[in-house]
Structure 1
Amino acid sequence: MGPVIHLIGLLTDQNSSFARGAALAPPAIRAALWSDRGNLSAQSGLEIGTDVMLKDLGDLPLSDDDCAADDALILRAVTESMEADAIPLLLGGDHAVTHPILDGPLYISVDLHGIDPSEAPGVAHPEPGGLTVREVLSIIAKQRARIVGADIVELNPARDVNDITAIVAAKLVREIAAQMHQNYDHI
């Protein structure tokens, strides 16, 4: 049996350097993840809810104005998740949410700024020439070590076009969760 994966939302963009709005990302990603217009299958054939146990813990009550206090809440939620033998998969928020939790053999952080804006337009800092979604999925699929946690950050729903970036983020949730499941017994 594989791990339980805890989906945890981080409604914060206090460290955004340009356009705020990433704090609105967790609900947008969840809406795309659970939408009837998509599916819950990963490329590997594993399906969320059938093969991969994903438990949505909701959003942390972050203040979005006190970095130290918010970092402590994030760290506590991640620690509690790991102590429950689950794997945290965090939905940001801005990229600074990764800072308090970087530890362990393999932690995956996907900053949506790094994906080409033709495939992920809903970010504050579009990066023409960025990675394609297919390239990111290929990198995730090549991971063989046990994954101790992950985050997907920097979706700005106010800048998204037809929810394209939210759909990309939901796809990344499925693929990372499936890879966590597949790699669970690896040390």
Structure 2
Amino acid sequence: MPISRAKISTLKPWDIALIGIPFDDHSSFLKGPSNAPPLIIEAIESDSANYFTEDLIDLEDHPNVCWLGNASLRDYFDIESIIAEILKRGAIPFSIGGDHSITYPILKAMSASYSNLSILHFDAHGDLYDSLDGNRHSHASPFARIMEEGLSQALIQVGIRTLNDHQQTQANKFGVKVIDMRNWSPDIELNLSGSVYLSFDMDVLDPAFAPGVSHHEPGGFTTREVLRMIQKLDLNIVGLDLVEYNPNRDLNGITAMTAAKIIKELLAKMLSLNKSF
């Protein structure tokens, strides 16, 4: 049985609305993430797996988890208005990208609905460039835009292993807490108070576990390490994204299945923590 289908107009309060954001115009190296969303949903619904999560939550028992399909985008900033429509109906947006530039317009919408919003960001890269190749909306820059506009009160970045001098300066300027791979341990607590937005870039995983990304950066997490972090979270998650799966670089759909697994475990965590679902 597939995930229930819905339209934005039919969303109800506390629905978790999976929506594809097929946008990679601000990718700096390779195109391809715009093709990812339906392939990730296909992996979630694959007959090779089931809808149970590791703590025995059956997603088929939760019709409030729904797939809206790909958003229809004329330009980059349509993303903001689409997420705002989801929020207006009291639903929780779970955006499937797409490159990481989509997080900035999403946060513009989120910050209008939630004050004192914090971000938990999993990534190999800080994405804090003031601009890259002259593009201030590059997928290498979303968190610079978010923090300089005050769209988030706090940003924790996990799995970082590519900071340069410029991005370190940016992190210091914006008060970003960076948990890089050299200093990460399984005992590190990732919990934040208040409303939290979670942004997950697939390249936080070591490319041995997720080859289907544009930027291969060795020295990342195993899939099990990521799942343990997710399963330990105790957060009021009000919005999420999963980005930067590039099917053009995948091997036998391994990365799509990994993305599907991560989404299922994030959904399980939300369903277990919020009794309104």
TM over 0.5: yes
For residues 57 and 172 of structure 1, the distance between their equivalents in structure 2, rounded to whole angstroms, comes to 19
Residue 116 of structure 1 pairs with residue 121 of structure 2? no
For residues 99 and 157 of structure 1, the distance between their equivalents in structure 2, rounded to whole angstroms, comes to 23
Tell me which residue corresponds to 2:268. Answer: 178
Tell me the SS of whatever aligns to 2:214.
Answer: coil
Tell me which residue corresponds to 2:35. Answer: 24
For residues 99 and 3 of structure 1, the distance between their equivalents in structure 2, rounded to whole angstroms, comes to 23
Q: Deviations over 1:121-152 (max 9, x none)?
A: 00110111111111111221222121101111
1:70 is matched with which residue: 70, 76, 79? 76
Tell me the SS of whatever aligns to 1:109.
Answer: strand
For residues 94 and 255 of structure 2, the distance between their equivalents in structure 1, rounded to whole angstroms, comes to 18
For residues 271 and 85 of structure 2, the distance between their equivalents in structure 1, rounded to whole angstroms, comes to 19
Tell me which residue corresponds to 1:91. Answer: 96
Tell me which residue corresponds to 1:66. Answer: none
Q: How does 1:3-22 map to 2 (within 5 A)?
A: 3-22=14-33
Tell me the SS of whatever aligns to 2:92.
Answer: strand
For residues 83 and 58 of structure 2, the distance between their equivalents in structure 1, rounded to whole angstroms, comes to 24
Contact 2:15/2:64 (CA < 8 Å) preserved in 1? yes
For residues 76 and 58 of structure 2, the distance between their equivalents in structure 1, rounded to whole angstroms, comes to 32
Unpaired segments ≥5 residues, structure 1: 64-68
For residues 274 and 102 of structure 2, the distance between their equivalents in structure 1, rounded to whole angstroms, comes to 24
For residues 176 and 157 of structure 1, the distance between their equivalents in structure 2, rounded to whole angstroms, comes to 21
Task: Report the residue type matching 1:19 in the other structure.
Answer: L
1:53 is matched with which residue: 39, 64, 77? 64
How far the C-alpha of 1:3 sits from its partner, in A, is 3.3
Tell me: CA distance 1:152–1:26, structure 2 relative to 1, closer, same or farther (3 Å): same
Tell me which residue corresponds to 2:53. Answer: 42
How far the C-alpha of 1:167 sits from its partner, in A, is 0.3
For residues 270 and 79 of structure 2, the distance between their equivalents in structure 1, rounded to whole angstroms, comes to 20
How far the C-alpha of 1:185 sits from its partner, in A, is 4.7
RMSD between aligned alpha carbons? 1.8
Contact 2:38/2:69 (CA < 8 Å) preserved in 1? no
Unpaired segments ≥5 residues, structure 2: 1-12, 112-116, 118-194
Name the % identity: 41
TM-score (norm 2): 0.61
For residues 28 and 56 of structure 2, the distance between their equivalents in structure 1, rounded to whole angstroms, comes to 38
Contact 1:109/1:150 (CA < 8 Å) preserved in 2? yes
Contact 1:52/1:181 (CA < 8 Å) preserved in 2? no
Tell me which residue corresponds to 2:164. Answer: none
Higher relative contact order (CA 8 A, sep 6+): 1
**Which structure would you say has the larger Rg?**
2
2:221 is matched with which residue: 119, 127, 131? 131
Tell me: CA distance 1:131–1:162, structure 2 relative to 1, closer, same or farther (3 Å): same
Q: Deviations over 1:9-40 (max 9, x none)?
A: 01111111111100010011011011101111
Task: Report the residue type matching 2:20 in the other structure.
Answer: G
How far the C-alpha of 1:90 sits from its partner, in A, is 0.7
For residues 91 and 57 of structure 1, the distance between their equivalents in structure 2, rounded to whole angstroms, comes to 11
Contact 1:11/1:60 (CA < 8 Å) preserved in 2? yes
TM-score (norm 1): 0.89
Task: Report the residue type matching 1:130 in the other structure.
Answer: G
